[in-house]
Amino acid sequence: RAAMNNIQQLTMILNSAADKPSETLIKYFNNCTVNPTDSILKRVENLEHIFKKKFAEAVGQGCAEIGSQRYKLGVRLYYRVMESMLKSEEERLSVQNFSQLLNDNIFHTSLLACALEVVMATYGRNASQSDGASAETDLSFPWILNVFDLKAFDFYKVIESFIKAEPSLTREMIKHLERCEHRIMESLAWQSGSPLFELIKQSKERESQSDQPEPTAT
């Protein structure tokens, strides 16, 4: 019943949401120094092909249509959360030009991945409860990171803002995202190739440039 309630709540939120950027979002896009509209729409389209292909490979071609439905819901949530995030950033920073953020490919891919993770977890939980061996269970986190070739560390960056921007998330979903965070913090962000190592290196370099030479702390 809890799983069904989560699905019901999600579809209720997203039934009224649009599959494309709202008027408000378009205004934010138009305010940018470099208008990101085309690249955002193109990215959503490109990632749709990738998502649907990987989904069908995982669950079987017979269930490919489910992948389309999940992606559609994910895109609605992505636009909805993006709008809410930009509104609070506008309030916080008193600026309307978010050109750098809105032209950042990693930001968008991470945000869309997070929206899809919420959708997949909402439905996946239901599937795994009714059928322990369900193929859908295999699509749980960090599956989405591999699909979009996304670094766990980058995905981590959107989670907290996502939770703040979407007040309708169920308690269960917040807990799920928190579990994803913990997994990233404890292991995924420390795998080879993670951007975290380069950031630590840069931070150390800045430290050694600005400070007097001091013995390195453990």
Partner 1 sequence: VQDYHFGLEEGEGISELFDCD
Footprint of partner 1 (CB under 8 A): 85, 88-89, 92-93, 98, 100-101, 104, 106-107, 157-158, 160-161, 163-164, 167, 171, 174-175, 178
Give whichever of 55 and 153 is closer to partner 1, judged by the CB atom.
Answer: 153
Minimum gap (Å) between residue 47 Cβ and partner 1: 18
Minimum gap (Å) between residue 164 Cβ and partner 1: 8
Give whichever of 34 and 63 is closer to partner 1, judged by the CB atom.
Answer: 34
Minimum gap (Å) between residue 101 Cβ and partner 1: 5
Minimum gap (Å) between residue 124 Cβ and partner 1: 21
138-153 in b/e form (b: 16+ CB < 10 A) is ebbbbbbbebbebbbb
Give whichever of 1 and 171 is closer to partner 1, judged by the CB atom.
Answer: 171
Give whichever of 128 and 161 is closer to partner 1, judged by the CB atom.
Answer: 161
Side-chain-side CA neighbours of residue 201 (13 Å): 5
Minimum gap (Å) between residue 152 Cβ and partner 1: 14
Give whichever of 63 and 200 is closer to partner 1, judged by the CB atom.
Answer: 200
Minimum gap (Å) between residue 5 Cβ and partner 1: 17
Q: What is the 3-state secondary structure (H, E, C) of the chain?
A: CHHHHHHHHHHHHHHCCCCCCCHHHHHHHHCCCCCCHHHHHHHHHHHHHHHHHHHHHHHCHHHHHHHHHHHHHHHHHHHHHHHHHHHHHHHHHCCCCCHHHHCCHHHHHHHHHHHHHHHHHHHHHHHHHHCCCCHHHHHCCCHHHHHCCCCHHHHHHHHHHHHHHCCCCCHHHHHHHHHHHHHHHHCHHHCCCCHHHHHHHHHHHHHHHHCCCCCCCC
Give whichever of 179 and 204 is closer to partner 1, judged by the CB atom.
Answer: 179
